[in-house]
Amino acid sequence: MGPSAVTCPLPIEPIHCLIVRPFSDVTLLLTPNPPMKKYVASLIAAASCHADIAVAVCDKNKPASTPTSHFVLKEGEAFDPKTKLTWARCSVGATWKGGACVGDVKPMQLDEAKKYAQKLGKGWRVPTVEELYGIVEHQCSNPAVNAVVFPNIRSLGEGAPYWSLTTVKGMSPLVYYVDFLSGEVDGHTKGFALGVRLVRSGK
């Protein structure tokens, strides 16, 4: 999968990107300080103040977008035959042990994450925003991910933001990330430390 082809309007500070179509053909709208996002963030913070690990709220009336059956699970890796991508089931900082992710998520700056993936070798890399958004579970929130395939999603203070490699077109200092508590896409400068989930092409 190549670089993102998404487009954004002129910069608005701060940036908040709202998805209006599936990411295969998406336009991202920027809105200044949307009150609903603050409200949702407050609810998430209140709900998680006594627990580090998020407990998903799922709407069973909606079809699952990332059912476990879509993946071939092998210990700490999840292969998606449709996209031909293999995902690390644990966030960087945690390791797969005894059928679970053990350890804490280690937030990294984007350049640090790239170097970490390169050091691991075996084709591991930081995903594009399309790839990362592809594992969002639209049936659920808090976290918006299949917790069987990708366990141990934790709040990192303000949601669970994970880096992509994709820069915001026309605003090159900003790089897209996906918040795996809300399932939203937003942008940040690469100097901030966010969560990292690695991927590689093929098995």
pLDDT tens, position by position, 42-95? 333 333 333 455 578 899 899 999 999 999 999 999 999 999 999 999 999 999
CA atoms of 148 and 135, how far apart (whole Å): 12
pLDDT of residue 154: 87
139-160 mean pLDDT: 93
CA atoms of 54 and 153, how far apart (whole Å): 6
Query: Is the pLDDT reported for residue 99 higher than 60?
Result: yes
Between residues 41 and 121, the one the model is more confident about: 121
Taking only the tens place, the pLDDT of each residue in 3-44 is: 333 333 323 233 333 333 334 333 343 333 333 333 333 333
Between residues 38 and 139, the one the model is more confident about: 139
Q: What is the DSSP letter of 12?
A: -
94-111 mean pLDDT: 96
pLDDT of residue 97: 97
Residues whose CB falls within 8 Å of the CB of residue 98, separated by 6 or more in sequence, listed in order: none
Q: Could you tell me if 186 and 17 are in contact, meaning their C-beta atoms sit under 8 angstroms apart?
A: yes
200: nearest Cα among 107, 111, 88: 88
pTM for this structure? 0.75
pLDDT of residue 53: 53
Query: For the chain, what is the mean pLDDT?
Result: 80
173-182 mean pLDDT: 96
pLDDT of residue 29: 34
Tokens 């280690």 sit on residue: 106
Radius of gyration of the CA atoms of the chain, in A: 16
Residues whose CB falls within 8 Å of the CB of residue 35, separated by 6 or more in sequence, listed in order: none
